[in-house]
Amino acid sequence: MHEIAERIEDSQRILRSSNHVFNVPSVIRLKKYVYRPHRLEVSFNRKNVFKRDEHSCQYCGTKSAELTIDHVLPKSRGGKTTWNNVVCCCSKCNSKKRDRTPIEANMLLRKKPSKPKFLFSSAFGVLNIIEPSWKKYLPKHAQ
């Protein structure tokens, strides 16, 4: 063993192999700091837009597996593909809005689109739910 990290707390989950059962750690402490440049921004991509908008249409609130991305100011009218101009949209609302602004289409946005500010990100996506066992190790403003 390299003894790179120390297990501080275990989660309720376990991993099983054919011969062993392992507790899944929830909190570990690195014994040696491993430098990694901090990622200061959440990546702009379709998956993260859906996550920011909680997988719901920003016009009608519908949660659907068939969501699309809508440009608040349409691309044909100079709208950019940025955090501040795209939202999740169901196909019904997207058809209704067409190539118009929400005001022109008489459709209200549930919330103004903006760049998300999440505490953690991982290879599997953005985590905006903090594991309860982590709270005592985090600064108060991060909770």
Query: Hey, which bits of 4-92 come out as E strands?
Result: 5-16, 21-30, 67-71, 86-90
Say what the pLDDT of residue 96 is: 95
Say what the pLDDT of residue 140 is: 67
Q: What is the CA radius of gyration of the chain?
A: 21
Q: What percent of the chain has pLDDT over 90?
A: 49
Kindly report, residue by residue over 6-57, the tens digit of the pLDDT: 889 998 889 999 999 999 898 888 888 877 777 667 889 998 899 899 999 9
Domains and CATH numbers, the chain: 1-36 (no CATH), 40-115 (1.10.30.50)
Query: Which tops the pLDDT comparison, 64 or 113?
Result: 113
Say what the pLDDT of residue 33 is: 80
For the chain, the distance separating the N- and C-terminal CA atoms, rounded to the nearest angstrom, is: 34
Say what the pLDDT of residue 118 is: 63
Say what the pLDDT of residue 83 is: 96
CA-closest candidate to residue 71, choices 58, 56, 52: 58
Say what the pLDDT of residue 72 is: 97
121 in Cβ contact with 127 (< 8 Å): yes
Instruction: Using alpha carbons only, give the angle 86, 125, 68 rounded to the nearest 5 degrees.
Output: 30
Give the chain's mean pLDDT.
85
Residue 91 structure tokens? 């196909």
Say what the pLDDT of residue 123 is: 45
Say what the pLDDT of residue 116 is: 85
Between 23-27, 61-65, 90-94, 135-139, the lowest mean confidence (pLDDT) is in: 135-139
Say what the pLDDT of residue 143 is: 52
